Amino acid sequence: MDRNRIALAVTFVVTILSLFVGLINLVSNVSSSKLTKVDAGSGFGTDRLGAALIKIEGEIHSGRSSYDSAGAQTILEQLRSIEDDSNIVGILVEINSPGGSVGASQEIYKELMYLRKDKNKKVVVSMKDIAASGGYYIASAADKIFALGGTLTGSIGVIAIAPNIKGLLERYGVKVRTFKEGKYKDSLSLFRDNTPEEDAMIQKMLSDTYEEFIEDVAKGRNQTVKFVEALAEGRIYSGQDAFRNKLVDDIGGRREALAELSKLCNYDGTLPLFEEEVNPWDRFFQLMQAKSGGFFSGEKAFLQELKRSPVLVLYPHSMAW
C-alpha cells in the first residue's frame, strides 16, 4: 500500500514538473522567434515575395514530426503547400539530422527536386551540427549547400542491423517457437542465425539502395556517379573537408545561405523569411510527451538514445541511412 502511495506521489510530482518545464519552454520558444515572419492562420500565409524556411531536425522517419524528430509527412505537407505559391520564390532548408529511414529521406529529396526543377523554386541548404546519411541525401537536392566548418556530414551509405540474442536465450534455456508462411518471413529474426541465402538477399537489397543513393546525389549535385562513388562508402567529413571535396558549396550559416538564396532569386537585398506557424498547444503536448516518455518508460528512452547514434538502425526489420 505504501509503495502504491509513493508511486502515485512521484507520478504527481513529475507530472507537475513536466507541466512547469513545458510551459517555460513554450513561452521561450514563442517569444524568442524574431527571425521569421509568420502570418495568422495555417500554412506560410504570405502575400508578399519571400522564402520559406523548412527545418529538418532529428531522426528522419515516415509519418508526422515530433518534438525531436522530422517526419516526412509533415515536411512534405509544408513543401506542397508552397509549390503553387508565386510569392514563395525560394526555400531555405536547415538540416540538423544524423539521417533516418530510407523511404522518408527519398520522399523529401524527390519533393525538393520537383520544386527545384519543375516549379522553378530556388533551394539552398544550411547544415548545422550534423547533416549525414539521409540528412546529406536530402541536402543534395539543393541548388547550393552551406555547411559550418565543424558540421559532420557525408556518410553516403546504407546499413541494416539485426540484433541476435540466440546465444543469450540458449544460455538460460529459453526457446522461441516461430510459426510462419513463407520461407523468408522471419529473416533478420532476433532468435536465430541467418542462412547464407538470406544474407545474400539482404546484401542485394542494400546494394540496390546504395546505388540509388549515389545516383540521386550525383543528379542533385550535377556530378558524375564515379565522382560520388569516390567520396561515398560511408565516409564522414567535416564541413571544411566536405567543401574541399565539393560535397558542399561554401562555408557559412543561415546568414550566408539566405544571402545566396536571395541572389539566386534575383532579389535586391535579403529575402524575407517565412516559417510555418506552429500551434503552441501542439508544441506543448509534443514537449510533454518527450519529457514524460523518458521517465515512465526506460526501454523507450534507451531506444530513443540509440536513434541518435550515427548508425540509426535499431530494430530487426528496419533499414536506414
Give the residue numbers annotated as catalytic, written as ranges.
133, 185
Q: What is the DSSP letter of 99?
A: -
E strand intervals along 201-313: 236-238, 250-251, 273-275
CA 152 to CA 129: how far, in whole Å? 6
Task: Please give the Cα distance from 15 to 117 (Å, whole number).
Answer: 49
Q: Sign of the C-alpha dihedral, residues 102, 104, 109, 110?
A: positive
CB-based contact 244:230 (threshold 8 Å): no
> Closest Cα to residue 109, out of 23, 213, 244?
213
The region, left, alpha or beta by phi > 0 then psi within -120 to 50, assigned to residue 99 is: left
Non-local (6+) Cβ contacts of 90 within 8 A are 51, 52, 121, 122, 123, 124, 261, 262, 264, 265, 271
DSSP string, 113-152: HHHHHTS--EEEEEEEEEEETHHHHHHTTSSEEEE-TT-E
120 in Cβ contact with 79 (< 8 Å): no
Give whole-number Cα distances, 231 to 38, 147, 156, 223, 241, in Å: 40, 17, 8, 12, 11
Mark 41-71 as b/e (b = at least 16 C-beta within 10 Å).
eebbbbeeebbbbbbbbbbbbeeebbbebbb
Length of the chain (residues):
321
